[in-house]
Amino acid sequence: MENLTITQHPFWLHIELNRPAVKNALNTATLVALADAFIQAATDQNIRAVLISGKDGNFAAGADITEIATKTSAQAATDPRKAHWATVRAFPKPLIAAIDGFALGGGLELALMADLIILGETAKLGLPETNLGLIPGAGGTQRLLALAGRARASRMILTGEIIDATTAHQWGIAAYLATGSALPDAIALTTKLAQRAPLALQAAKAALVAGDEAALAFTLERANFEALMDTKDKAEGIAAFREKRKPSFTGA
């Protein structure tokens, strides 16, 4: 798994996103590796919790733009990435995310699937997909809405604003704000959770997830994400991002 570094500890697993040259952007190969790791961890009785972080100072700076650039709505509707995201969402054991540096777009969507998020001082969070003529497509609109509320979720998603660690913690997006890097605190927390009763933790997580996500509009979010793939604004947004210029959207 060249895109991941996986380390086994007593009763817990550390998964580290390992694409530092692109700020750990989540391409399809990385999502495949993540899904495989979570499938194995779900049935391994020696693993009671999982910690996920990113290498070299960033969590994950979004999806891989090169994979999205030419994707059509029809291709997005049958994209295997949907199944990989579903595997992460279905992981039954406690999942902790340690965020240092950028957690943007798909990177933040991955973090929002965690049960507990710890932010380092350098953390920068955002769902800037509207800058590309798109919207989040892996649950980001719904999970951010549930955590931060309508006004703050609208502010981040509609404007593409990136917020700092202190703001994200104050808004309730993360459970913990570390002094310095998030990783030491995250390791301590994951170690603590791994010492607790595993069946009780899984039962508690199942109840929390069911109660939190029952009324969220994940299907509508995904359908709208897929529909936007064929728009000229999506093509213009990605071209502008690559060319480091302001996009000129036309509503087509």
Helix axis angle, 198-213 relative to 140-148, nearest 10°? 100
**Catalytic one of 25, 103, 107, 129:** 129
**Catalytic one of 41, 62, 109, 168:** 109
**Catalytic one of 62, 101, 106, 237:** 106
Active site residue 41: no
| Cβ count near 32 (within 10 Å) | 17
Share of the chain residues as helix, strand and coil, in percent rounded to the nearest 5: 50, 20, 35
Active site residue 106: yes
Active site residue 63: yes
Q: From CA 32, how far away is CA 80, in angstroms rounded?
A: 9
Give pairs for 199-208: CB < 8 Å, separation 24+: 201/48, 201/49, 201/93, 201/94, 202/92, 202/93, 205/92, 205/93, 205/94, 205/115, 206/92, 208/115
- Phi first, then psi, for residue 101 (nearest 5°) are 65, -145
Whether 132 and 241 have beta carbons less than 8 Å apart is answered as yes
Work out the end-to-end distance of the chain between its first and last CA atoms, rounded to an integer number of angstroms. Answer: 40
**Catalytic one of 61, 63, 111, 168:** 63
- Phi first, then psi, for residue 99 (nearest 5°) are -110, 115
DSSP string, 174-195: -SEE-SS-SHHHHHHHHHHHTT
- Phi first, then psi, for residue 128 (nearest 5°) are -90, 25
- Phi first, then psi, for residue 115 (nearest 5°) are -80, -30
Q: Tokens 């497509």 correspond to what residue?
A: 137
* Residue numbers annotated as active site: 63, 106, 109, 129
